[in-house]
Structure 1
Amino acid sequence: MQKVWEATELEYAFLFTLRKVNSINTEGFKPFFNNLPVDPYIKGDYRLRRLSRFIVSGDRVIKLPHGYLFQPKEYNPLVGDIKREFTELDDGLVELDIFKHLVLAFSDSCKLHPEAEIGAHQIRTTCSPDNMGNPAPEGIHRDGTDFIGIFSVDRENIQGGETHLYTAKKEKPVFSKILNPGELLLVNDHDFLHFTTPIKPEIEAQGTRDVFVLTSPSLLIEA
């Protein structure tokens, strides 16, 4: 795994990492981002989303029953303290070897306990010549979990969407990068806040940013 840090920030080297997951060809994911339901909890209809939860057992990725996403308002001031429900990931996506490789890469990299629950958020953020898209409408934040993985699937006709990590809201970011397809950023949620800048089109047409966000614990509660 490649360690990533600012030259003057060596003390953070083991708290976040960036790696390229070479076993994953992101082309296989792309068709499954074309039928995502709109996130009903965010105004503007520019964010689309599915969500499922899993555990890893050996080299198997096991899908768990449906659950609800819940974050306290202290972590998500925009939609915290709301029991949110999202459509499950498509069965065809979950059955892909590349999806299994993604979940295993996250679990292995974070050294998760075999029974640790993992939330897999499939998210598309859209933008148009008239409207920017906001991948992080809640602003600079923590998710309220232990580990976060942000995996870039695709960037189509967009500029922006740069991911930042912070040790405090009023400090400068210690990490700033546009995540390219195939890159997985792993973050200790206890030590860093994160944010992704808004996106806008490069040319006069719709733009899209497709990612998976993995969390453990999953932040999901039983249905």
Structure 2
Amino acid sequence: MSFSLKTQTFNCITDYALETINEINLDRLNRFFNNLPVDPYLKGNYRFRRLSNFIVSSKSLVKLPHNCLFQSKEYNPLLGDVVREFEELDEETIELEDFKKIVLEFFTFCQLCSTANEIGVHQIRTTTSARQIGNPAPEGIHRDGVDLVGIFCVNREGIEGGETYLYKDKNSSPVFQKILNPGELLVFDDRQFFHYTAPIKPTTEQQGVRDVFVFTCPGLIANRNEKN
């Protein structure tokens, strides 16, 4: 697989990458966020989520059998040591060329920074209203416990806030701070950077939403990561 312009000079130890993926039909992707199941592990019913894991082989995505998500408390103080189960991504989503293009773009960075050819894809909608602030990262500033992380924004509607931050350590000022706009992909080495996304608030009386795909390389598969 050929590397993109961003990956040609990417240094896994010092760099993060922010790029806009062109020729993506965001509307076609966004409609698949409307039927996400609620995340049952958070109070407030403001986050909705699906999860699938894939092997990348010869520029193709091969979906792995259904499995659960696991992170230790070392990485997730809120929901660490909890085996979490989410419904798989919709098959129509997986078949979209737009979806495949985004995942394969993330994988070009994985080829530089990881020996894994496995990617976890988290499809997440965070909502907010006058009664409920939406918190994309309720665990606070954190690492995920993988090699590489990518965040691709599909949609922001009726919201303010939601800046994404990268830190070299939890006690220092951020080295990156930006609202990710639709079409933008942020990639960073999870071993080098902590990350956090601030809460979102509505800009009108209507509900606001933030829709993203979060990619991890490799996935956080429970039967491999769970403590014995």
TM-score (norm 1): 0.92
User: What secondary structure, in the 3-state scheme, does the structure 2 residue paired with 1:93 have?
Assistant: helix
Partner of 1:24: 24
Task: Tell whether the 8 Å contact from 1:21 to 1:182 is kept in structure 2 after alignment.
Answer: yes
Indicate the percent of aligned positions where both proteins have the same amino acid: 57
1:36 paired with 2:67, answer no
Tell me the equivalent position of 2:107. 107
Please, which moves more after superposition, 103-112 or 180-189? 103-112
Could you list the per-position Cα deviations for residues 77-107 of structure 1 after superposition, in whole angstroms to 9, with x for gaps in the alignment?
0000011100000011001011111110010
DSSP 3-state at the match of 1:69: coil
Query: Deviation per CA, 1:97-138, whole angstroms, max 9, x where unpaired?
Result: 111111100101332668621000000000001211000000
CA distance in 1, matches of 2:18, 2:116: 24
Cα RMSD after superposing both structures: 1.9
Aligned to 1:119: 120
Q: Output aligned runs, 1:64-83, within 5 Å.
A: 64-83=64-83
**d(CA) in 1 for partners of 2:115 and 2:197?**
30
Paired with 1:200 and 1:104, the residues of 2 have a C-alpha distance of 32
2:197 partner letter: T
Matched, 1:169 2:170: yes
In structure 2, relative to structure 1, the CA distance for the partners of 1:216 and 1:184 (3 Å cut) is same
Cα distance change of structure 1 residues 137 and 27 upon mapping to structure 2, 3 Å threshold: same
Aligned to 2:131: 130
**Are the equivalent residues in 2 in contact too, given 1:73–1:80 (CA < 8 A)?**
yes
Distance apart, 1:12 and its partner CA: 8.8
Query: Per-residue deviation at 1:221?
Result: 3.1
1:97 is the counterpart of 2:97:
yes
Residues 23 and 101 in structure 1, CA contact (< 8 A), matched pair in contact too:
no
Runs of 4+ in 1 over 4 A off after TM superposition: 11-14, 112-115
Q: Is the 8 A contact 2:44 2:132 kept in 1?
A: no
Paired with 1:14 and 1:183, the residues of 2 have a C-alpha distance of 20
Change (3 A) 1:12 1:166: farther
Structure 1 pair 114–61 and aligned structure 2 pair: CA distance change class (3 A): farther
Can you give the 5+ residue segments of structure 2 that lack an aligned partner in the other structure? none
Q: Deviations over 1:26-68 (max 9, x none)?
A: 1111110000001011111100000000011112111110011
Shift of 1:23: 3.3
Aligned length: 216
2:207 maps to which residue? Answer: 206
CA separation of 1:144 and 1:73: change in aligned 2, threshold 3 A:
same
Secondary structure in 2 matching 1:211: strand
Give the Å deviation of 1:199. 0.3
Report the Cα distance in structure 1 between the residues aligned to 2:221 and 2:25, rounded to whole angstroms.
28
User: In the aligned structure 1, how far is the partner of 2:15 from the partner of 2:161?
Assistant: 25
Distance 2:221 2:13 in 1: 29
Match of 1:7 in 2: none
| CA contact 2:121–2:215 (8 Å) conserved in 1 | yes
Return the TM-score normalized by structure 2: 0.90
Tell me how far 1:15 sits from its aligned partner.
Answer: 2.4
2:167 is the counterpart of 1:160: no
Corresponding position of 1:194? 195
SS at match of 1:29: helix
Unaligned stretches of 5+ in structure 1? 4-10
Counterpart-to-counterpart distance in 2, 1:180 and 1:28: 17
